[in-house]
Amino acid sequence: MKLGRRNLEEPQINLTSLIDVVFLLLIFFMVTTTFVNSSGLEIILPEAGGETQAAPDNTLEVAVDAADRVYVRGEAVASDPQTLRAELQKLAGGDFDRPLRIRADGRAHHQAVVQLMDIAAKLGFERVDISTLPFPVEAVEER
């Protein structure tokens, strides 16, 4: 049996379907890729600097040194809550609308400062600010 001669054509690859597959893969990888998102916030903390400002005449000041001793009017007082409460009441003279400044040494423990803030809040002080001392508390006593 004699078979007829066939027309031999070169086999061709259909590029259209290959391009479609490449684009689909590209889209798949773009959609499934996780981008790096930083979940934290970058915080730039302020630094204490400049000159210290003189307190206005109506500002009440209480100081805490590095050993957590509390000074009212330049005199050391006991750091138990009852004594501190009585001293702050004497210092305010019944006028709790005046600002209260707690000047704490940078090495003082938070507990002493927070205890003063808590007592001041219970007494009714609404304007309380905290400042750190760049110098020893003994310099406050001399003022």
**Residue range 80-109: average pLDDT?**
87
Q: CA-CA distance, 93 to 56, in Å (whole number)?
A: 17
Q: Which is higher by pLDDT, 143 or 92?
A: 92
pLDDT of residue 11: 77
Q: Which residues contact 122 (CB under 8 A, 6 or more apart)?
A: 85
Percent of the chain having pLDDT more than 70?
A: 78
Structure tokens at 139: 């310099």
Residue 104's DSSP bridge partners are: 64, 132
For the chain, give percent helix, strand, coil, nearest 5.
35, 15, 50
Q: Which CATH number fits domain 60-142: 3.30.750.24, 3.30.420.270, 2.40.440.10, 3.50.50.60?
A: 3.30.420.270
pLDDT of residue 138: 53
pLDDT digits (tens, 9 = 90+) for 48-70: 766 766 655 678 889 988 888 89
Quote the mean pLDDT of the chain. Answer: 80
